[in-house]
Amino acid sequence: MAMEMRASENISMSQDLTPSIHPCAAALHDSFLYSHCSSCFRVLPSHFPAHSLNHQEPFNSIFPISCTTCKASIRYCSAACFASDSVIHSSSGECHFLLQFTYPSTCSLGDDTADIRAALRLLYFFEVQGYVPSPPWTELPNRIGGLLVSDLKKVLKGGVVAERIREAGSLMSCARRRKRAEEKQSYHRSVMVEEVALWAVMTNSVEVQINEEWALGLAVYGPCFSWFNHSCLPNACYRFELASWCKDHLPCELGSFWVSPASTGETPTLVWNYEDVGLSQGLSTYGPRIVVRSIKEVKKGEEVCITYTDLLQPKAARQSDLWSNYRFICCCQRCTMSPEIYIDYMLNFDERNLNLGNSNSAAVVCEELADVVNQAIAEYASDDDPKACCDKLESTLYQSLQYEDLQKDKLSGRQFILHPLHYLSLKAYMTLASAYRLRAQGLCSTDLHIENNYKTFKMSRAAAAYSLLLAGATHRLLLSESSFIAVTSHFLVSAGETTLNLVRSSTWQSSGQRYESNSSFNLVSCYEFNLRKGSLPWFEFKLMSMQFAGCISTMLLYCWPFLIEGFLYLEKIKNPFDLSWLDMAMLQAQCSLGEGTTTFSTCKCFACDYQSDVFLEDKVKCLYQLAIHLLSYGGYLASICYGPQCYLVDHARDLLKVEV
């Protein structure tokens, strides 16, 4: 028995499939409670000190407004946000929960309680809507308000998740009982309903992501969103929109949906719930809204799916992640296809494909490499020692890829070849780009004498190089499968920003080589091109993407050697946007590579204006043009999968200082 969303009409690529859907419940992560509004999730004015907040002040004289009962744990940016959320905060029991949680206790719930507070709010929402039967229950429901809450009995049999649900459920029950006692209402002494609500949050919530740095909190949406199933080859993605309190509150209009629910054995009641205004609109007037958007062409009647997990993981890691978080085994096309498709073949590329012996031996070596990579990343996250992380990861990468050995057939003594597209390589690139940026920033904060300035510049070069390598690797996957458009857009913008920071560094400025481009190549060109062409068919989109990549690849011929000088592993990489330099023996697989072996043409993209001959003489101009291409192309891809007004497009626009 399952619900799903199917296209009600033929859908083109880059099309909003839903209106802005309001959350049933939303809660900030604990670390953002003092800096962001708990209603609209916007940043609070920084010039108002926390000690001056008092409910006795007039709403129009001082902001933000805080809840004085729970010691200013919940804060609002305006009177409108306070009016829309304060009743939910109080009546749900969240206020009493924060009081009892902030006092010294023996609970082991960790540093973040966003899921618990979201569960309290969700339970209050369901009670207001009349979706929760009075406890005690004879058996656990399969759904509440259309949200799937099955398998809770199995989860509660034991384990870390069971312990959290039990302990949090008990605290939630106490908080709700205190509120009921204040209001002199009767209450059934059962924590079962709280446990079900928390399980609903765990299996139906999404992280609210509105910038590149962190997720602000959790939000749970009704069937309008929660009935979109997962696929490891999704044809849709979603974005968040923060409502402005000064704008009118507009309910979700069912007529603007391009999808409709379908069921396998479900009762008609759930379809009615899907159309329920309460479920589509929620109680949170100004909470973070969500919009689903197509990233592929979808035929009428075809299921529309999003992804619940990291697509850059191999099958085993994806399956493990989905089971631990959502309790299901994925049976999508990507997970069941035999032989495996190109992207999974490359994400798992090892000695099995070189006919060098036992595949079980390769699996063991891969696990050992994974342990080394994961340990280095974990130590970097906890100890904040970027140099040790860089040394360990680069040593592992270098020893696992010796291109000369491939050319000279010196593979007999090698146990493992770590391809640049292997998922462990991609994880390492992400961490190395971050670690080198942190090292450069750390050096910038100290005295800028000549030696230190040189080291800073070297760290910045490495950060740009690894960002480019990550963007190039994921772009190669994108050319094989458009499901990777979202992750590729993020890496392209990040690579563009890192390269732009390198160009604007003090080393270039001190040498008088700073370059400001007069290029007409900017986000305006991308937007106009997108509007002029409309929603592109896949083959046209791929052709345009190859033209962009061809331009970027050509520029890298001139500036890549400069970026990687002095870094042994990076010097093994000939061109991060054209991996055809790899020996073809590495690409001879038992499965069909199909589009994966595509090479780039040298065609100019629609916005090129560079002269290749000047790049040899002017590295700054070359890098500047490269950054412009990366930001513009990344912003263009982001406008396809998120829409032209998403935060990623805005970020690229701000970096280019272009007004659209």
Give the least confident one: 41-50, 232-241, 363-372, 498-507: 41-50
**Model confidence at 418: pLDDT above 50:** yes
b/e sequence 555-589, b meaning 16+ C-beta within 10 Å:
bbbbbbeebbeebebbebbbbbbbbeebeeebbeb
User: For tokens 């974990």, what's the residue?
Assistant: 378
Q: What is the pLDDT of residue 262?
A: 87
Q: What is the pLDDT of residue 180?
A: 66
Q: What is the pLDDT of residue 179?
A: 66
Q: Six-digit token pair at 467?
A: 């960002």
Considering the chain, what percentage of its residues have pLDDT values greater than 90?
39
**Burial, 116: exposed, middle or buried (Cβ in 10 Å; 0-12, 13-18, 19+)?**
buried
Reported as a single tens digit per residue, the pLDDT across 296-308 is 999 999 999 999 9
**Model confidence at 370: pLDDT above 60:** yes
**Burial, 260: exposed, middle or buried (Cβ in 10 Å; 0-12, 13-18, 19+)?**
middle
b/e sequence 139-177, b meaning 16+ C-beta within 10 Å:
ebbebbbbbbbbebeebbeeeebeebbeebbebbbbbbb
Q: Say if CB 76 and CB 59 are below 8 A apart.
A: no
- Pairing mode, strands 259-264 and 147-148: unpaired
Q: Say if CB 278 and CB 131 are below 8 A apart.
A: no
**Model confidence at 335: pLDDT above 90:** yes
- Rounded CA separation 170/166 (Å): 6
Determine which helix (DSSP H) or strand (DSSP E) holds 488, and give its type and residue range.
helix 485-503
Q: What is the pLDDT of residue 379?
A: 85
**Model confidence at 346: pLDDT above 50:** yes
Q: Phi and psi of 229, rounded to 5°?
A: -80, 170
| Cis peptide preceding 136, ω within 30 of 0 | yes
- List residues bridging with 241 in a β-sheet: 289
Considering the chain, what percentage of its residues have pLDDT values greater than 70?
71
User: For tokens 């000190």, what's the residue?
Assistant: 49
**Model confidence at 191: pLDDT above 60:** no
Q: What is the pLDDT of residue 282?
A: 58
Average pLDDT (201-211) is 93
Reported as a single tens digit per residue, the pLDDT across 74-133 is 999 888 889 889 999 999 999 989 887 765 454 567 778 999 999 999 999 999 888 887
Coil, helix or strand for 75?
A: strand
Distance (Å) of CA 300 to CA 5, 8, 10, 225, 297: 11, 6, 5, 19, 10
Q: Say if CB 261 and CB 93 are below 8 A apart.
A: no
b/e sequence 481-495, b meaning 16+ C-beta within 10 Å:
bbbbbbbbbbbbbbb
409: left (phi over 0), alpha (psi -120 to 50) or beta: left
| Pairs from 182-188 (Cβ < 8 Å, separation ≥ 24) | 188/134, 188/135, 188/136
- Pairing mode, strands 305-306 and 229-230: parallel
Q: What is the pLDDT of residue 431?
A: 95
Average pLDDT (37-52) is 71
Determine if the pTM surpasses 0.75.
yes
- Pairing mode, strands 143-144 and 147-148: antiparallel
Q: What is the pLDDT of residue 268?
A: 43
- Rounded CA separation 264/199 (Å): 23
Average pLDDT (54-72) is 61
Reported as a single tens digit per residue, the pLDDT across 519-568 is 434 444 554 445 444 466 777 888 888 888 888 998 998 899 999 999 99
Q: What is the pLDDT of residue 450?
A: 57
Q: What is the pLDDT of residue 368?
A: 79
Q: What is the pLDDT of residue 361?
A: 54
C-beta atoms surrounding 9 within 10 Å: 13
Q: Phi and psi of 418, rounded to 5°?
A: -95, 100
**Model confidence at 486: pLDDT above 60:** yes
Q: Say if CB 485 and CB 642 are below 8 A apart.
A: no
Give the least confident one: 265-269, 620-624, 651-655: 265-269
Average pLDDT (580-600) is 45
**Model confidence at 24: pLDDT above 80:** yes
Q: Six-digit token pair at 289?
A: 């809204």
CA dihedral (174, 175, 181, 185) positive or negative = negative
pLDDT band at 619 (very low <50, low <70, confident <90, very high): confident
- Rounded CA separation 29/366 (Å): 35
The per-residue pLDDT of the chain, averaged, comes to 78
Q: What residue type is 464 in one-letter code? A: A
**Model confidence at 437: pLDDT above 90:** yes
b/e sequence 427-462, b meaning 16+ C-beta within 10 Å:
bbbbbbbbbbbbbbeebeeeeeeeeebeebbbbbbb
**Model confidence at 610: pLDDT above 60:** no
- List residues bridging with 303 in a β-sheet: 6
**Model confidence at 248: pLDDT above 50:** no
Q: What is the pLDDT of residue 249?
A: 47
Q: What is the pLDDT of residue 596?
A: 45
Q: What is the pLDDT of residue 263?
A: 79
Give the least confident one: 51-55, 442-446, 484-488: 51-55
C-beta atoms surrounding 393 within 10 Å: 25
